[in-house]
Amino acid sequence: MLTAYHPQSSRQVFAAEQSSSGGPFFCPACGSELRIKKGLKRIHHFAHLPEKVCIYKGESQLHLRIKKQIYYSLLQELGTKVKNVSLEKLMDTIRPDVLIEGFKKNIGIEIQVTPLTPAELIRRTTAYYQQKIHVLWVLPFSKERFFAADDGEFQPIRLKEFELMLYYMNYKNLIFWDDTEKLSEGFIRIQLQDIWQKPGSYYSIDWSTVIEFNPKKLKQKKMPSQIEYHLGLKEFKPVYAPPFQMPKSDYFLPGRFMMLKK
Ligand SMILES: [Zn+2]
């Protein structure tokens, strides 16, 4: 975690601004004491003791880095245009990585570095909806995933199950963040398209008949069609999206509040 509760000052403090002598520090979720980790290379953070079990435990350096970058980027972009931008806000059933409390609407940023189960994605989506928070799901960007090594052109990518759900939830878009900040300082939006297998025909096993097959949509493989870099939050608008049965799957995506690229 980037922050912890500091009883001495009765507030949430940042690991980057504290030292081990300034403790103790506690986890707001499980209440256990945390150790402050300040290295030269790693992101300054608070860590649970190995034996503790907590929802905040085990965030990767990649997750912490993206969270920190998004937080500072949004502070800079939004400044006084919103009531508050906060990190790791622990709410009833959700814990957005970054929460933006606006004058009219609230926005939660969910950074998803590790795969999420479909059930958990649906649970969180519903919880955000109930709390009237618009969500922006953000995935870690990697250039190698979208661009072919030889010619730098787009290449088909295989979406993980939860990414496929986000693809449908986001009207065939996925939002990323480049933690190297080389390609983009800001959100990255990638539009994807379905890939259709070509129609064709083959002989039956006894060579007596020709069997034709129709074009078939590939389920998890999608083709990037457009990419946009350096997006600020102002380029997204809060929308309500109605419930939706995901094609060729058992998932019923619930009605949700989300941030959609304008
Ligand atoms: Zn904890």
Q: In the predicted model, is pLDDT for residue 204 greater than 90? A: no
- For 237, residues 6+ apart whose C-beta sits below 8 A from its C-beta are 259, 260, 262
What spacing in Å lies between the alpha carbon of 171 and ligand 1's midpoint? 35
Using an 8 Å Cβ cutoff, are 94 and 121 in contact?
A: no
CATH topology of domain 60-261: Trna Endonuclease; Chain: A, domain 1 (3.40.1350)
Phi, psi of 101 (to 5 degrees): -100, 110
Average pLDDT, the chain: 94
What spacing in Å lies between the alpha carbon of 52 and ligand 1's midpoint? 7
Q: In the predicted model, is pLDDT for residue 41 greater than 90? A: no
What spacing in Å lies between the alpha carbon of 19 and ligand 1's midpoint? 19
What spacing in Å lies between the alpha carbon of 217 and ligand 1's midpoint? 44
Nearest to 254 by CA among 135, 134, 121: 121
pLDDT at 24: 97
- Provide the residue ranges of all domains of the chain, joining segments of one domain with +: 1-58, 60-261
Q: Over 31-84, what HEC string results?
A: CCEEEEECCCCCCCEEECCCCCCCCCCCCCHHHHHHHHHHHHHHHHHHHHHCCE
Using an 8 Å Cβ cutoff, are 145 and 157 in contact?
A: yes
Q: In the predicted model, is pLDDT for residue 131 greater than 90? A: yes
What spacing in Å lies between the alpha carbon of 233 and ligand 1's midpoint? 29
Q: pTM, whole model, 2 decimals? A: 0.91
What spacing in Å lies between the alpha carbon of 133 and ligand 1's midpoint? 24
Strands 33-37 and 45-47: antiparallel
Q: In the predicted model, is pLDDT for residue 203 greater than 90? A: no
Report, as an integer, the average pLDDT of 185-208: 90
Whole-angstrom distance, CA of residue 69 vs CA of residue 74: 9
